[in-house]
Amino acid sequence: MKPIIEVKGYSFVYENTTKKVLDNVSFVINEGDFVGIIGRNRSGKSTLCESLVGILPFVMGGSWEGEIIVDGKSLNDTKGAGATDVIGIVFQDAESQFTQETVEDEISFAMCNFGYSRELMRERILYASEACGLRDMLDRSPFKLSGGQQQRLAIACILALQPRVIVLDESTSQLDPVGRDEVFNLITKLHAAGSTVIMVDHNIEKIAEYVNKVLVLYEGKVVEFDETHKVFQNKEKLNAHNVRIPQITDAALQLKDQLEITEAPIRMEEAKLVFDRYKREVGIK
Amino acid sequence: MKECIIQTQDLVHTYPTGVTALKGVNLSIYRNDKISIIGQNGSGKTTIVRHFNGLLKPTSGKVLLYGTDTTQQKVGEMSRKVGYVFQNPSHQMFCTTVKDELEAAPKNFGFTAQETKDAVEEVVELMNIKDVLNVHPLTLDYTTKKIVTIASVLTFKPDVLILDEPTGGLDEAGRVMLTNIIEMMHRNGHTVIMISHDMDYVAENSDRIIVMCEGEIIDDGVPEDIFLNAPVLQRAQLEPPQITQLDLYLENGNQSRAILSVKDFVDKYKQNIN
């Protein structure tokens, strides 16, 4: 697996403050990974996302130590430039990032700024709108879309630039269940098609269901970074860092002895198998 | 019989755009109810609660607050009784510091300087926001904004507390704090009405659930029954909590009440397995 993002001893302090919001953070994300970043509020998740694309510190300021290497290039050397060619970021509040009157113009906006040719733009608008299920809405106003559609549009805008990595910072927290599933399904498709995905989300059940690695942040430090099913076995440790585990995992861990399992299921299909087996063998009244 | 404090009678609400968000809703809310209103975006949840304190007026039908038509009462007076925490915290902040923000409502409602000070101190302590008192509210992160808006409504302890999507963006610690606040208000006899998409949270923090779909109430009952009603949930495009779903699967729909929490589930299966 080829590393696409390498974070080495990275610390960050916002301007006019003294607290290290990120404190000596190191980890590697490989091409094709689907990583969930979880942690309590103010643990540094958004700061980390914005640092990966170079918004922090190179655009918004702040002081830092260590380095972030994106696709082999240190952002320290490029002053953050180049990261946005590789990584696209979608924020929590999609609506606040829209400026255009139609979905089509919104998708074109970044491409115009990057000086794409008209033909290439046309091609990418079709690709991104198709991938995000917005093909029939190109002449609609971004501001009149539903929450799920707006998030899909925000994703389409970065998809048009064909980044190799997509970062989603709490993109589903304002959505209803239908909108949330729309976003998760879309992201899963993009991941299956080869994109590297980094997703910050509070919905632990969905994170467990979809991602293959989990990074836990606590007070600016990485306290856990491993495969999803391993991370969620350690309830006490996660709880101590103000993160819960999926409900089905929690239940299975509490019934571990009766179920005779060494590892608790983290996904619904796995849980069904475990409990079904027990039901067959022992019988549940 | 508990006192009915809010009643809607054939309530219809049509927005100026021509969209009819409520299509003749009849609903009674009783003192000390702990209610969640659930449903998809656009189902009418926010529209209905905005009638409870007169922020919206009926297109037809009636809303009675303590037996009196809301069109006959002043919004200011109704807001004192029915405190409303908006979904988007930026929509209800207008002061330049968190402290001013917290003092605004009590001052507005005629609290004395000492009463205002005491009220603010109490919520600051309760919600652990002392370190942001002198910060501009709009520069806060989303979650802290959310906590400040809840705190600002708690300062005047409204009879009815309405929380519109309170868990959006809250972490575990935030959810625990919110639960404590809801419990405290409920214990002290207040009525709590929550709008939420967060089914895990709703299942564990409601005595009564109202399901809305396309401007109508399609179910109203206790969570143990609501989360068993697959056709209604499907129509409202809602999913029960994960643990409820696992139990529904294992029981093949033959149970008499829905499991609402991990504890419920573990208690049930521990008993059955042994």
- Quote the pLDDT of residue A283: 62
Mark yes or no for CB contact B168/A174 under 8 Å. yes
The answer to whether residues B58 and B9 touch, using CB atoms and an 8 Å cutoff, is no
Q: Which residues of B touch A44 (CB under 8 A)?
A: none
Q: Which residues of A touch B38 (CB under 8 A)?
A: none
Backbone CA torsion sign across B196, B199, B204, B206: positive
> If interface means Cβ-Cβ distance under 8 Å, which residues of chain B face chain A?
40-42, 141-144, 165, 168-174, 197, 199-200, 237-239, 241-243, 245-246, 249-250, 262, 265-266, 269-270, 272-274
Per-residue pLDDT band at A282 (split at 50, 70, 90): low
Note the ipTM here: 0.88
Q: Which domains does chain B carry? A: 4-240 (3.40.50.300)
Per-residue pLDDT band at B71 (split at 50, 70, 90): very high
CA B12 to CA B25: how far, in whole Å?
A: 7
CA B206 to CA B92: how far, in whole Å?
A: 25
Closest Cα in chain B to A272: B246
- B3-45 per-position pLDDT tens digit: 999 999 999 999 998 999 999 999 999 999 999 999 988 899 9
Whole-angstrom distance between the N-terminal and C-terminal Cα of chain A? 48
Over residues A107-128, mean pLDDT:
94
Q: Is the pLDDT at A47 greater than 80, yes or no?
A: yes
Mark yes or no for CB contact A202/B169 under 8 Å. yes
Contacts of B257 (CB under 8 A, 6+ apart): B224, B225, B228
Over residues A20-42, mean pLDDT:
96
Type of residue found at B48: I
Over residues A2-11, mean pLDDT:
97
- B195-228 per-position pLDDT tens digit: 999 999 999 999 999 999 999 999 999 999 999 9
pLDDT above 70 covers a percentage of chain A that reads 99
Q: Which two tokens stand for residue B149?
A: 């808006």
Q: Is the pLDDT at B102 greater than 70, yes or no?
A: yes
- Quote the pLDDT of residue A63: 95
- Quote the pLDDT of residue A171: 85
Contacts of A111 (CB under 8 A, 6+ apart): A120, A121, A124, A160, A161
Over residues A79-106, mean pLDDT:
89
Type of residue found at B106: P
Considering the entire predicted model, what is its pTM? Answer: 0.89
H helix intervals, A3-102: 45-52, 75-78, 83-86
Q: Which residues of B touch A278 (CB under 8 A)?
A: 273
- Quote the pLDDT of residue A274: 94
Q: Is the pLDDT at B89 greater than 90, yes or no?
A: no
Q: Is the pLDDT at B274 greater than 70, yes or no?
A: no
Beta strands across the sheet bearing A165-169: A87-90, A165-169, A196-200, A34-38, A213-218, A221-227
Q: Are strands B20-30 and A22-30 parallel, antiparallel or unpaired?
A: unpaired
Q: Cα B21 from chain centroid?
A: 19
- A173-228 per-position pLDDT tens digit: 777 788 888 889 999 999 999 999 999 998 999 999 999 999 999 999 999 999 99
- Quote the pLDDT of residue A25: 98
Judged by phi (left if over 0) then psi (alpha if -120 to 50, else beta), residue A115 lies in left
- Beta carbons within 10 angstroms of residue A144's beta carbon: 10
CA A70 to CA A65: how far, in whole Å?
A: 16
The answer to whether residues B214 and B232 touch, using CB atoms and an 8 Å cutoff, is no
- Looking from the CA of B54 toward its CB, the CA atoms found within 13 Å total 18
- Nearest CA-CA partner of A201 in A210, A188, A191, A189: A210
The answer to whether residues B106 and B162 touch, using CB atoms and an 8 Å cutoff, is no
Annotate B189-223 with b (16+ C-beta within 10 A) or e (fewer): ebbbbbbbbbbbbbbbbbebbbbbbbbebbbbeeb
Q: Which two tokens stand for residue B42?
A: 């656009």
Mark yes or no for CB contact A251/B246 under 8 Å. yes
For residue A58, give the DSSP letter: T
Q: Which domains does chain A carry? A: 3-245 (3.40.50.300), 246-285 (no CATH)
Over residues A237-247, mean pLDDT:
95
- Quote the pLDDT of residue B273: 53
- Nearest CA-CA partner of B221 in B89, B48, B33: B33
- B41-52 per-position pLDDT tens digit: 889 999 999 999
The answer to whether residues A84 and A157 touch, using CB atoms and an 8 Å cutoff, is no
Per-residue pLDDT band at B87 (split at 50, 70, 90): confident
Is residue A250 classed as helix, strand or coil in its secondary structure? helix
Q: Is the pLDDT at B115 greater than 70, yes or no?
A: yes
Q: Which residues of A touch B41 (CB under 8 A)?
A: 146-147, 176, 178-179
Beta strands across the sheet bearing B160-164: B82-85, B160-164, B191-195, B34-38, B208-213, B216-221
Q: What is the mean pLDDT of chain A?
A: 92
- Quote the pLDDT of residue A284: 54
Q: Is the pLDDT at B168 greater than 90, yes or no?
A: no
Least confident of A19-23, A270-274, B189-193, B266-270: B266-270
Q: Is the pLDDT at B100 greater than 90, yes or no?
A: yes
- Quote the pLDDT of residue A111: 93
Over residues B114-126, mean pLDDT:
96
- Quote the pLDDT of residue A146: 81
The CA R_g of chain A, rounded to the nearest whole Å, is 20
Q: What is the mean pLDDT of chain B?
A: 93
Give the position of tokens 């302590």: B125
Q: Is the pLDDT at A285 greater than 70, yes or no?
A: no
Q: Is the pLDDT at A263 greater than 60, yes or no?
A: yes
Strands (E), A59-212: 63-70, 73-74, 87-90, 165-169, 196-200
Q: Cα A212 from chain centroid?
A: 12
DSSP assignment of B64-104 equals: EETTEEGGGS-HHHHHHHEEEE-SSGGGG--SSSHHHHHHH
Contacts of A259 (CB under 8 A, 6+ apart): A252, A274, A275, A278
Over residues A135-159, mean pLDDT:
90
- Quote the pLDDT of residue A41: 83
Closest Cα in chain B to A244: B172
Type of residue found at B116: T
The answer to whether residues A39 and A243 touch, using CB atoms and an 8 Å cutoff, is yes
Q: Which residues of A touch B249 (CB under 8 A)?
A: 272
Per-residue pLDDT band at A93 (split at 50, 70, 90): confident
Mark yes or no for CB contact B174/A147 under 8 Å. no
The answer to whether residues B16 and B175 touch, using CB atoms and an 8 Å cutoff, is no
